[in-house]
Every structure is written in structure tokens, then in C-alpha cells.
A and B are shown apart, each in its own frame.
Chain A
Amino acid sequence: MSYNRDPSQEIYRPLRRIFLGGVLLCLCILFILWRIDSPRVERMRAAVVDAVVPKVSWVLKPVTISFEMAGNFRTYQQLYRQNQDLRRELQQMKAWKEAALQLEQQNAQLLDLNNLQLDPKLTFVTGVVLADSGSPFRQSVLLNIGARDGIRDGWAAMDGIGVVGRISGVGRDSARVILLTDTNSTIPVRIQPSSQHALMIGDNSPLPYTDFIETPELVRPGDRVVTSGDGGLFPPDLLVGQIVEGRDGRLRVRLAADYGRMEFLRVLRSGAPEKVDGPGGLIAPPVPPSLPDETPDLNAEAPPEEPESGSDG
């Protein structure tokens, strides 16, 4: 109370100073604690966000909707032109749809011929986007699904088409998705059709750049970028986007996901990646059953129909 200088207030001034010092000390300790033990404080942050944001989401929703309506209203002005564009696009799409149907049938036949097992584990949980990061330097969104729905850190989030980001920070009812454009986002990708492995690194711009391409000469703008599944971070072969050449001459990725209209996101349930333990044993003639004391890793060369036999022995 600096302007209130009557003597009755004077006795509070030392107390007040101590209080100020205490508050500053607590805040600094919190910051240093965050720097030393980031995961613990980040869990605390997730708990705070989880406690606050879902409670105010009923306020957030109408405002979000009205802003979306305003945005939609703006597009009414270009309705005619848009309609023409859409018609033209539809014509092309019909041709593509024919091609896709034929290819799908062909693909199904080929898969059948090869007796190929597709990965059945990709199921997903869909969540609504509640809030974004609130900071111009952090690219993340908050979903209304969390640990209660079985969400875990590291799972991939997609919109209908492409990868959007990965889960980082799970509360009970909320989970944060770090977008691919965030500076903390680095994911292993594969560039098709040349099958070049690369890393896609976010830098706070709408187009993340690619780095560590083995032979960059083989990569052209327009190539498709999919996740490679290296390191078990993401399931392989999810669509990410297309290569474009940035203004700075770097190869960047135009993301397939529509970052302008993120309402619902799918979080892919990916289990822990299967581990390949050990280099595998020697290939030797089958061991006669009369020798039970044989070393167990010789059993590892059982025929491929029984992959479990190594652990049984």
C-alpha cells in the first residue's frame, strides 16, 4: 500500500516485504525445479490444465463456434467462384475415384495372393479440440480425451487425412498434442517414391523442413511424405504431406492435415513396438528330440510358423 502512508499501515510494511520475497523465491524455485526435473513439473502442468480447461470448455465452445461462423460467412462472398472450382475438382475426383476403386480391387487380389497380414492394431480414439497452446511460439492443441480413455504419451494424432502431431502430456480428461510445426517436433519420415529416409523438423513455420536425407538428389517437390515408423515413434506409412521447396531453398513438407480447421482429432492406439531380441541363432540341422539338455538358443531356428519357440525353450 504505497500511497497509503498513514502510521497504522506502517507496521505491515516489513511483513509485506517478507511476503514479496517469499512469493518471488517460490516462483524462482518452481522455475529451477522445472529446469532440473522437467517431467515432474510438466505432469503438474498437465494436472493444472486438466483441472481448469475442461471446466471452462462450455464457455470456449460457443465463442469458437461463433468465430467459425464468421469465418464461414466470409467464404459466402466467394461462393460462386468456389462452386466453380469445386465442380472442376469434382470432375477430376470422379476420374481418380474410378482409378482408386480399380487399384483397390487389384490391391486386395494381390494381398490375397501373397497371403499378407495387415497390421490389425491401428484402432483410434477421437477427441474434440478444446484449446490451443495460447502462445505464438508453441504449436500444440488440447484434446478432451485423456488417461481415462487410455491415451498415452507418444501416440500419433491425425485428422481425417494426415498426421497432425503426437501426444505429449496426458491429464485425466485432457491430453496435449504437440503439432508437427512445433520446434519440439522431430519425426522420422520416408519420402515416396524414392523411399528416402529423413527427419522432419518443425520450426514454428507452417511448413516443417526435412533434414538428414540420404540422397537429396532423388527427392523432388511433390513427392509424398509418410511416417517411417523408425524408432517406434509412430506407426509406419501414415500420410504426412508433400515435399515443397521452401523460399530458403530447403526441402519442406506441406502437411496433408488441415491445420486451419482442426475440430476433431483421431489418436491412434499404437501398442509398444515389438522388440526383436537377440541376433538369432545359428542355422543348424534340426536337433534330435533325444537331447533335452541342448542350449535353448538352438531352438530358435524353429520353422517360421512358430515364432514363440525361442521363448518356450
Chain B
Amino acid sequence: MGSDPLSRWLTAPGIYLGLATLFLMVRLLPFGIADQGWPGPDLMFCLSAAWVQRRPDLLPLGLIAAVAILGDFLLQRPPGLWAALTVLGTEYLRRQVIPGQMQSFPAEFLIFALLNGALILTNWLILALFVVPQPSFGAVLAQWPVTLLAYPVCVFVLIHVLRIRRPIDMAR
């Protein structure tokens, strides 16, 4: 991967789109019809959240919104709601990062956990408010720990495979 800024600017959205396509396809593959186990992690949200805290300049808002709305349409979710919440959440994280300052991973993880929990709750509440038929609260909430488990993996891949790091970490 080229280290000069221009090629980074061109390849990073491509990488994001490629991963988004991969995650969507994996969820769409028709082999999970019969098993009724735990819901899978929300990898798209993990990726966006981890990325936006490292290189916010490489992940424009429009890209996140476009991928999220496509996900809403393809994955049979109520269109628009989860996309809006994803955009809100990632914008919050974008502002959360103080430039030039180190942030420890436990703190980052805690913020992510609280944010994801809050978004899932808000999603559930709004759907209940609009009287949309939805699965039981327990089943919805089961997504939360699964997504939390996936987050460190996502961060690891982002840092060590894709080399998306904070500018301050790269300088050291």
C-alpha cells in the first residue's frame, strides 16, 4: 500500500467499499436459513467505528451513509433508521477523537460498547414507538455482546493488515 497521501486517498474508500461488499455478501449467503442460533455481529458498524477513530479523513460521511442505506435495503431492515443511527454514532466518534492525543484501547472499547448499546436501544425504542413488528427484546439485545466481541478483531485487522492507524501512532 502506497504511503504517499494521494494514493491513500484513492485506495482507502475502495478498501472500505470492498470490505462492505464482503460483509454484505457473507450475510446474504443462503446457508444460515435453518440454524436459529445467535445473531451475527454487526461487522459494518465495527469497521466504521474503528476506522473513523483512526483516520477520519479517509472515511467521508457520505460513504458511510451510502453503505449503511444499502445494508438497510439488502438486509430487510426498516430502511433509513439504522443508517441514520450509524451516521450519528460515527459522527459522535469522529468528534470524540482529540487530534494529536493518544487514546488507550480499553477506553476506546468502553466508549464503543456504550455507544453500540445506546444505538441498539434507540433503534428498538423508535421501532416500538412507530409500532413496527419486531423480534423480542432479548433477541435484539443479543446482538450487542456479539458485536462487542468482534470489535477488537476488527481493530486488530485494521491496524496490522490494512495499516489504518492514527497519525500519532504512525509518527512513533
Contacts of A44 in B (CB 8 A): 73, 79
Contacts of B132 in A (CB 8 A): 35
Does B84 sit within 8 A of A, measured CB to CB? yes
Contact B81–A3 (Cβ < 8 Å): no
Contact B87–A3 (Cβ < 8 Å): no
The docked-state distance in angstroms from the alpha carbon of A49 to that of B98 is 40
Does B167 sit within 8 A of A, measured CB to CB? yes
The docked-state distance in angstroms from the alpha carbon of A138 to that of B62 is 28
Does A86 sit within 8 A of B, measured CB to CB? no
The docked-state distance in angstroms from the alpha carbon of A148 to that of B99 is 55
Contact B76–A59 (Cβ < 8 Å): no
Contact B61–A179 (Cβ < 8 Å): no
| Chain B residue with Cβ nearest A47 | B73
B-contact 0/1 string along A227-257, CB 8 Å cutoff: 0000000000000000000000000000000
The distance from the CB of B99 to the nearest CB of chain A, in whole angstroms, is 3
Given the contacts A1-B57, A2-B56, A31-B80, A139 and B74 also touching, CB distance less than 8 Å: no
Q: Which of B84-131 contact A (CB under 8 A)?
A: 84, 87-88, 91, 94-95, 97-100, 130
Contact B28–A134 (Cβ < 8 Å): yes
Contact A24–B84 (Cβ < 8 Å): yes
The docked-state distance in angstroms from the alpha carbon of A227 to that of B163 is 57
Interface size on B, residues (CB 8 A): 51
Q: State which of B33, B57, B73, B97 has its C-beta within 8 Å of the C-beta of A132.
A: B33
Q: A23-B87, A137-B135 are in contact. List 13 more A-B contacts (CB 8 A).
A: A1-B56, A20-B91, A28-B80, A31-B78, A31-B79, A34-B80, A35-B132, A45-B76, A48-B73, A64-B31, A204-B36, A205-B36, A206-B36
Q: Give B residues with C-beta under 8 Å from A.
A: 21, 24-25, 27-34, 36, 38-40, 56-57, 61-62, 65, 69-70, 73-81, 83-84, 87-88, 91, 94-95, 97-100, 130, 132-135, 139-140, 143, 167
A-B contact pairs, 19 of them (CB 8 A): A2-B56, A3-B99, A16-B61, A27-B69, A28-B84, A30-B69, A31-B84, A34-B78, A48-B73, A53-B74, A68-B31, A133-B76, A134-B76, A136-B38, A137-B39, A179-B33, A184-B133, A259-B33, A262-B30
